[in-house]
Structure 1
Amino acid sequence: MSLDQPADLVKHQNPTRDAFLGGRLTLSQPPKGFRAGLDSVLLGAAVPASSIRLLDLGAGIGAAALVALALGRAEGAVLAERDAEALALARDNVAGNGWAGRARVIEVDIEARAEDRRQAGLEDNAHDVVIANPPFFAAGQGTPAQGRYRANARHMQAGSLDLWLRCAAASAAAGGQAIVIYPAEGLGEVMAAFAPRFGGLTILPLAPRPGQAATRIIVRGTKGSRAPLTLRATRFLHGASGNDFAGEFDAIFRGRAALDW
């Protein structure tokens, strides 16, 4: 997510058009590199029902927020992104799926100073739900990504996750929620970033199959809450064998259900 992405690169990417939610949503995204997938769908499906103002931090092409809108989980959404390529695609996706009246895309660096974020149009204390799928490798870890957009979507500097949660807390209304999806091995870092700002944390571990360790976590917290932490039972994307999704997740990926957690 870089501010200095050459603008003419977007015109030469020849983005693919990919169906999500059983065809209820069609998204343009780069043909190579970081592409929206299961994490984005699960994050959007995790948004509570009857959410009024949804904010998607580091929205990329807009997949998670648009999933939430398509599933009827939110009335309106703000998509916050700083990468030029992603911004162009997000705007196309909002318009192309008929959400121009309910979704707005803003160019903003969510790691910037609060005043700079406000000047970019990101309001404080204004959103009842804030979602994020932050970059998940610390700089220098993981397989190097090819291309600036993909690299910035997968890698972050040390301490950046804390900045993302700081922005989420500033943007959330009193009693608002923040929801993050993240690799399970980063649970400690996620908890450290949530704890000073959100209470009533709920953690949902996700594993590929029964008997396997969790690979993803979805974490939800409420601004101003003093409720204790809740650790949900691990849920499994697949059965013990085969590649079919478990019924709960198959319904989500086909656009027939949201995530009940």
Structure 2
Amino acid sequence: MTRDAFLGGRLTLSQPRNGFRAGLDSVLLGAAAPAGGTALLDLGAGAGAAGLTALALGRTDRADLAERDPAMQALARNNVDENGFSGRASVLEVDITARADARRAAGLMDNRFDTVIANPPFFAARRGTPAPIASRAEARHMEAEALELWVRCAAASAAAGGMAIFIYPAPGLAALLAAFDRRFGALHLLPLAPRPGMEAMRILIRGRKGSRAPLTLMATRFLHDDAGHGFAPEFEAIFRGQAALDW
């Protein structure tokens, strides 16, 4: 295990040294949650980085972390306690791709959350390079059909008028957009690129349950400036825990 600081030290997480590890995507996802939330669900939460980021930045009053892997559940519970969120966060032992009745039996109720966030596995099974650690492979690889199940779970878990936010690699946008378009309206797409002049590598998508408002494609934002290795001021402030993602 390692113990890693996020948000300029406002959040410290235990993670597997060689398994799936939270990084910039998890922080951006948590920072993308809208302000004023009361109940947030983090699907496939792992060690809890995204959901706890949303809590640490004051984006939600409470966070439920849904995770199916027992080892990661234990880490998430430890991270909840170690960061002082034991009264505001809980870990749900649930497979979010399971049938609705199985999810409910595990404590994941329908129509409950005003915000649902997720960083789904992003390589379709049998594509890319398989991860050597089993837990990391599960977190990075899945059948294409499973993305549909993740979005389905998000739609079932969101309250009427609630919002779902996913972060996903740009090459998978078509499948992600198709799954969202069947269940959410008022879709907003925010492309994220490393630098000006470079292709987007990640997409943030958000949608509102029950809305029929049209899609909005937002201007690409760049994590770094033209030169140097530092982050652009907007993202530097996020990663230091001084700001949320305004979009």
User: TM-score, structure 2 length as denominator?
Assistant: 0.99
- Out of 93, 115, 138, the residue aligned to residue 129 of structure 1 is 115
In structure 2, the residue matched to 1:56 is 42
Confirm or deny that 1:245 pairs with 2:231: yes
Q: CA deviation at 1:242?
A: 1.1
Confirm or deny that 1:193 pairs with 2:193: no
Q: Describe the SS at the equivalent of 2:72.
A: helix
Confirm or deny that 1:227 pairs with 2:218: no
In structure 2, the residue matched to 1:12 is none
Structure 1 residue ranges, 4+ long, deviating more than 4 angstroms after superposition: none
In structure 1, the residue matched to 2:245 is 259
Q: CA deviation at 1:33?
A: 2.8
Distance (whole Å) between structure 1 residues aligned to residue 91 and residue 138 of structure 2: 19
Q: CA deviation at 1:80?
A: 0.2
Distance (whole Å) between structure 2 residues aligned to residue 114 and residue 76 of structure 1: 23
Unaligned stretches of 5+ residues in structure 2: none
Q: CA deviation at 1:241?
A: 1.4
Distance (whole Å) between structure 2 residues aligned to residue 107 and residue 149 of structure 1: 15
1:104-148 CA-to-partner distances (Å, cap 9, x unmatched) read 101000000000000000010000000000000000111110111
Confirm or deny that 1:72 pairs with 2:72: no
Distance (whole Å) between structure 2 residues aligned to residue 231 and residue 104 of structure 1: 34
In structure 1, the residue matched to 2:130 is 144
Confirm or deny that 1:156 pairs with 2:156: no
Give the total of aligned pairs.
247
Distance (whole Å) between structure 2 residues aligned to residue 20 and residue 179 of structure 1: 21
Confirm or deny that 1:174 pairs with 2:179: no
In structure 2, the residue matched to 1:218 is 204
In structure 2, the residue matched to 1:20 is 6
Distance (whole Å) between structure 1 residues aligned to residue 90 and residue 70 of structure 2: 15
1:70-102 CA-to-partner distances (Å, cap 9, x unmatched) read 000000010000011111100000000000000
- Out of 25, 28, 32, the residue aligned to residue 42 of structure 1 is 28
Counterpart of 2:92, as a letter, is: I
1:24-81 CA-to-partner distances (Å, cap 9, x unmatched) read 0000000113210000000000000011100000000000000000000000010000
Unaligned stretches of 5+ residues in structure 1: 1-14
Distance (whole Å) between structure 1 residues aligned to residue 162 and residue 130 of structure 2: 36
In structure 2, the residue matched to 1:93 is 79
RMSD of the TM alignment (CA)? 0.5
Distance (whole Å) between structure 1 residues aligned to residue 228 and residue 72 of structure 2: 34
Q: CA deviation at 1:18?
A: 0.2
Counterpart of 1:63, as a letter, is: A
Q: Describe the SS at the equivalent of 1:245.
A: coil
1:169-216 CA-to-partner distances (Å, cap 9, x unmatched) read 000000000000000011101011101100000000000000000000
- Out of 74, 81, 86, the residue aligned to residue 67 of structure 2 is 81
